[in-house]
Each structure stands twice: as structure tokens, then as C-alpha cells.
Amino acid sequence: MSTFLPAPASLRCVAVVPTYDEAATILPLLDRLAAVRSGPGAPHLDVLVVDDSSPDGTADLVRAHPGHGDWVHLVTRVAKDGLGAAYRAGFAHAVDDGYHAIVQLDADGSHPVEQIPAMLALLADHDLVVGSRYVPGGGAEGWPLRRRVLSVGANAYARRTLRLRTHDATSGFRAWRVGALLRCDVLRTESTGYAFQVENTWHAERRGLRVTEHPITFSERVAGASKMTVDVAREAAVLVARWRLEELRAAHPGLLAPAR
């Protein structure tokens, strides 16, 4: 798969946005994305919402949006099935539809979508651009102490365990070259929840993709509720440890073998 990227004027990009009960946040997000599409240096940017049949009617709001069927698209899934699964479904659609670049972001307004043109510009000589809170110039606003500690701790754990260079391995705001995304098997990853971001960072680094971090200021959501749960955090902790063990076993086949 070639990772060729056309010149910016003919680049086709899509922002994939997973939603579960985001009726309070999806329309303001679409307004902000509309401004990015028509702003200075505007990329060709469509939006694909992946909704897991949200009981609060998020999908109906998307269908009623004036851009629906034009630049706003919707994929609905039968039931809540996790962030990783929603992204894989959305990415598969984006690949089938022939987009050259994919942006991924939360629906809740936490990610500064105004940075999308700068992140897409970085794809000219990178495969993956991670919107990062943990590089100079990046940060987070309005985060309760508990969330800040969880995020810093999760990043330190993932980074040290998997020997990652990326400082914000859990960031959900990223831009990908589609060819690179396929090269690191994103569509065949195993994480159900937020571990998806770490799994992709790990694959991208190990497979030699050109990964860079672009500083962003993350803002805590002002409406709706977080879907982060203890189970989601536990899945990430267990998977990270398992991936490292698998790596060690592959590098040292005798190591960790049962004693005879």
C-alpha cells in the first residue's frame, strides 16, 4: 500500500467522530468543523459520525443537519460496542470511500479542531500526527484533578512499559495518512476501548512510521458525560502489559518459558 499523499489542493480528508449519547455536543462540534472547512487554508474536509444507536437521539440530530448527505455522513451501529470498535468501523468506511487522510477526534468539543489544518499540513512529511497535551506548548484546561492524574499516570505507564517515544500515547486527536493507517493494521487491532489509541501508537512506532506530536490544548467537556469507566481503564492496563510480554517473548524465546 502506497503512502503517497496528493498535493494539499487535491487532498481529500475525513474527520471520523465516534458518538455515544452526544446529543448535547454534536451540533456545536459540527459548527466548529464547518468553520474549519470554510476558513483560511481550508482543507477538503468531510465528517463521518459513527454512532452506536445512542438512546439520546444523537444520530437523528446528525441526519437533520443541513450538511448531512453532503459533507456530513453517518454510520450507525446496533449497540454500544466500545470506542475502538467504532473507530475501526468508521476507518473502514473512510478507506472504502477513497479518502487520503483521516482525522480522529472526540465529539465532546475537547479537541481544538481549529488545529486540523496545521495537523494535516504536517502529514506532508509524516504518517501520523498526534495532537499532544504533553509536549511544550500543549496542555489541558478545566480538568478535575482526578482526570489529570489518570491521564498523566496512564501515559507514563504506557510509555515506560512499551518503550514509546510519543508523550501523549492516549490522545484521541490524531491525523493519519490512510496508507500508513493500513500499514500498521489499525483495522485489525484488538482494543475495545481507549486502549485503541495506545495500541495504534505502539504499532506505528514499531513499524517505523514517521510519528510526530503537535501541541494542543485539551478542554474538558462542558456538556454530556464521559464514557470512561473502570472497565475501560482496566482493559488498557492489562493489554499494555500483555503487549510488552508478547514483545519480550518474541525477542527472547527462551525467556519466560515454563521451567522444565
Ligand X SMILES: Nc1nc2c(ncn2[C@@H]2O[C@H](COP(=O)(O)OP(=O)(O)O)[C@@H](O)[C@H]2O)c(=O)[nH]1
Task: Closer to ligand X by CB, 110 or 189: give it.
Answer: 110
Q: Which residue is nearest to ligand X (CB)?
A: 226
User: Contact between 53 and ligand X (CB under 6 A)?
Assistant: no
Annotate the chain with three-state secondary structure. CCCCCCCHHHCEEEEEEEECCCCCCHHHHHHHHHHHHHCCCCCEEEEEEEECCCCCCHHHHHHHCCCECCCEEEEECCCCCCHHHHHHHHHHHHHHCCCCEEEECCCCCCCCHHHHHHHHHHCCCCCEEEEECCCCCCEEECCCHHHHHHHHHHHHHHHHHHCCCCCCCCCCCEEEEHHHHHHCCHHHCCCCCCHHHHHHHHHHHHCCCCEEEEECEEECCCCCCCCCCHHHHHHHHHHHHHHHHHHHHHHCCCCCCCCC
Task: Closer to ligand X by CB, 151 or 166: give it.
Answer: 151
Smallest separation, CB 82 to ligand X (Å): 5
x/- mask, ligand X, residues 11-40, rule CB under 6 A, reads -------xxx-x------------------
Q: Which of 21, 46, 51, 108 binds Mg ion (CB under 5 A)?
A: 108
Residues that bind ligand X (CB under 6 A): 18-20, 22, 50-52, 80-83, 86, 106-108, 110, 172, 226-228
Residues that bind Mg ion (CB under 5 A): 106, 108, 110
